[in-house]
Amino acid sequence: MEDDDPLLSIGVFARRARLSPKALRVYDRQGLLTPDRVDAVNGYRYYRQSRLTTARLIVRLRGLDMPLARIAEVLAAPEPEAAGLVAAYWEGVERRVAAQRELAVHLRIQLSGGTEGLDMYEIRQRDVPEQAVLVEQRHVRPEDLSVWIPETCSRLEEEAKAYGGVVAAPFVIYHGEVNEDSDGPVELCVPIDPLRASEAAEAGAAVRTEPAHREAYTTITKAQVEYPQILSAYDAVYRWIEANDGGETGPGREVYFADWASAGSATEVCDIAVPVA
């Protein structure tokens, strides 16, 4: 059996796998491709020839810029499931590239001093009363928002039933930037009956008071909520505030007033709002 599957030195194995010895050492530390034998005296690594299939698969997955942690999941999965993992990863890459393409267009307009598309947003003002809100705060990456927001909102809405239910539109407050270099934090707030807030707190729920304030806002459709299109709506609100000497007094937020699942792409679902003086 060993003659059919001989041990190869790390140098020979690396050449045949189209990898560098340095990469093999990294994969060893990550548990992706450990040596079949390590010489106890000199520390030389040896790999079975049959492991070349796994090594070449790693090379191809890295060609997709797949992170090592995701590669480990693919290697550990049976073949049909592994294929699904690769497909899901690549769908995510294509969504990210599409978003980056739109972001590049947005930045080109912004950096050229243009205001294309901003005039389409109608900016209004309103007074928002003090609210008692169930909350969950989390550090979230941009790609995770589309999952975290609806899941958390559903969970808090279910929790709100114990305190009379949801009494106003849920909203998401961005206490910090959420982009490729920053993860917030982001806070999801579900308004409940203020007379039941103390009851919720006593039961151990995360509840706080959102102060009354005035805010400038614009309403957008489900299609416009997609990143980075949503950035244009934020830009429009902030430009209006600057032009009207409003002066923001709190972080921006998204108020979701429509049923997301049943809404069409042209349905108005969300207000982009910023508290102002």
CA 56 to CA 33: how far, in whole Å? Answer: 11
* Residue 23 sits in the same domain as residue 158: no
Task: Note whether residue 2 is domain-resident.
Answer: no
**CB proximity list for 54: less than 8 A, separation 6 or greater:** 33, 75
Report yes or no on whether pTM surpasses 0.75: no
pLDDT of residue 223: 79
Check residue 96 and give its pLDDT.
75
CATH of the domain at 137: 3.20.80.10
Kindly tell me if the per-residue pLDDT of 210 is higher than 70: yes
Residue 193 structural domain: 118-276
Looking at the fold, whether 250 and 146 belong to one and the same domain comes out as yes
Spell out a b/e string for 34-73, using b for 16 or more CB atoms within 10 Å of the CB, else e: ebeeeeeeeeebbbbeebbeebebbeebeeeebeeebbee
Same domain assignment for residues 90 and 29: no
- pLDDT digit string (tens) for 38-47? 988 888 889 9
How many structural domains does the chain have?
Answer: 3
- 271 is a domain residue: yes
Q: Both 93 and 159 in a single domain?
A: no
Q: Are both 196 and 231 inside the same structural domain?
A: yes
pLDDT for res 266: 82
Is there a domain that residue 1 lies in? Answer: no
pLDDT of the residue at 1: 47
Residues 163 and 41 grouped into a single domain = no
213 occurs within a structural domain: yes
Minimum mean pLDDT range among 36-50, 93-107, 207-221, 253-267: 93-107
165-200 pLDDT, tens digit each: 999 999 999 999 887 778 889 999 999 999 999 999
Is there a single domain that holds both residue 161 and residue 218?
yes
